[in-house]
Amino acid sequence: MSQEPEDYIFVDAGNGRKLERFGAYLLDRPCSQALWRPSQPEQLWRQADAVFTREGRDGVWNRRRPIANAWNCRLAGLRFELQLTDFGHVGLFPEHALAWRQLPELAAKAGRQLTLLNLFAYSGGASLALAKADCQVCHLDASKKMLLWARRNAALNGLGTAAIRWICDDVQKFLRREIRRKNQYDAIILDPPSFGRGSRQELFQIDAHMLELLELCRQVLSKEAEFLFLSCHTPGYTPLLLKNLLRQIMPEGDIQAAEMTLPENKQTLPLPSGTYACWQRE
């Protein structure tokens, strides 16, 4: 059975903006990393169906053409429900496609069914990719809205009855409870925000809580753990910084770290979109 063609395209970036096609719609959004000039002509940028601008602390979508309340987009073998949100997000961070493609391969190499914990799990891309790879997944996010969104994505991918536990909770509180229960996992994926609130408004600040968070993760990893994948979009958190953090927590094993970029388009310049570090058992 042939795989459906992908319909996400990174079109261009420059002048502090990025232009992307998400399925049926071409969207123009802010991007602080894109300090260079656009590679594509201005005429192409004018074709955007919607443009997001920030005004003070709020943001506004300028719809140039009618856009559905929700629509679908395919990337890395997965289908996603998308929406225009007040924050300029659409429910999909395409730079994570790297993990959705590579981590199932690591899981397959283990030669056994893995238990996987996905923290700050958002709309479920990693959870779905690993569930398709026959992992038993625990998907955790502090937002009930995002949890429901992720479950809709599971249904879109025929994974509505897959081995996924859906949990709405504060990450650190959940990890401490798992340690007390002596529950462990063979792999962990986490993408902590710079700043966030838990399910009961618990404060998370990456600079203050990252080391503690990683230590809690280490304690719930099994002795036969296969990998821990850490990604981050916080300015200043370089690949080397993430690698050093993981090395102190996980002194044994191999760690690879690099920038995340949007899926490549040969007609434009690569766009840095966060960093990652991946620990693997040797």
Among 58-62, 89-93, 145-149, 201-205, whose mean pLDDT is lowest?
A: 201-205
* pLDDT score recorded for residue 203: 59
Res. 199 pLDDT band, cuts 50 70 90: low
Q: Ramachandran region of residue 239, left (φ > 0), alpha (ψ -120 to 50) or beta?
A: alpha
How many Cα atoms within 13 Å fall on the side-chain side of residue 253?
23
Residue 168 CB burial class (10 angstroms; 0-12, 13-18, ≥19): middle
d(CA 104, CA 232): 20
* pLDDT score recorded for residue 1: 37
Among 90-94, 121-125, 170-174, 194-198, whose mean pLDDT is lowest?
A: 194-198
pLDDT at 259 > cutoff 70: yes
Residues 6+ apart with CB under 8 A from 18: 10, 12, 28, 29, 30, 31, 34, 262, 271
pLDDT at 195 > cutoff 60: no
Report the share of the chain in percent with pLDDT over 70: 94
Report the share of the chain in percent with pLDDT over 90: 85
The model's pLDDT over 145-166, given as tens digits with 9 standing for 90+, comes to 999 999 999 999 999 999 999 9
**Mean pLDDT across 98-105:** 96
* pLDDT score recorded for residue 263: 80
d(CA 102, CA 280): 12
User: Token digits for 51?
Assistant: 């443009």
* pLDDT score recorded for residue 75: 97
Res. 140 pLDDT band, cuts 50 70 90: very high
Beta-strand relationship, 187-190 and 203-205: unpaired
The model's pLDDT over 49-65, given as tens digits with 9 standing for 90+, comes to 999 998 766 789 999 99
* pLDDT score recorded for residue 208: 76
Place of tokens 């840095």: 272
Tell me which of 198 and 84 has the higher pLDDT: 84
pLDDT at 2 > cutoff 50: no
CB of 111 within 8 A of CB of 139?
no
Place of tokens 């200043």: 236
pLDDT at 207 > cutoff 80: no
**Mean pLDDT across 11-16:** 97
In one letter, which amino acid is 259? E
**Mean pLDDT across 103-120:** 97
List domains and CATH numbers for the chain. 8-82 (2.60.40.1180), 94-280 (3.40.50.150)
* pLDDT score recorded for residue 264: 78
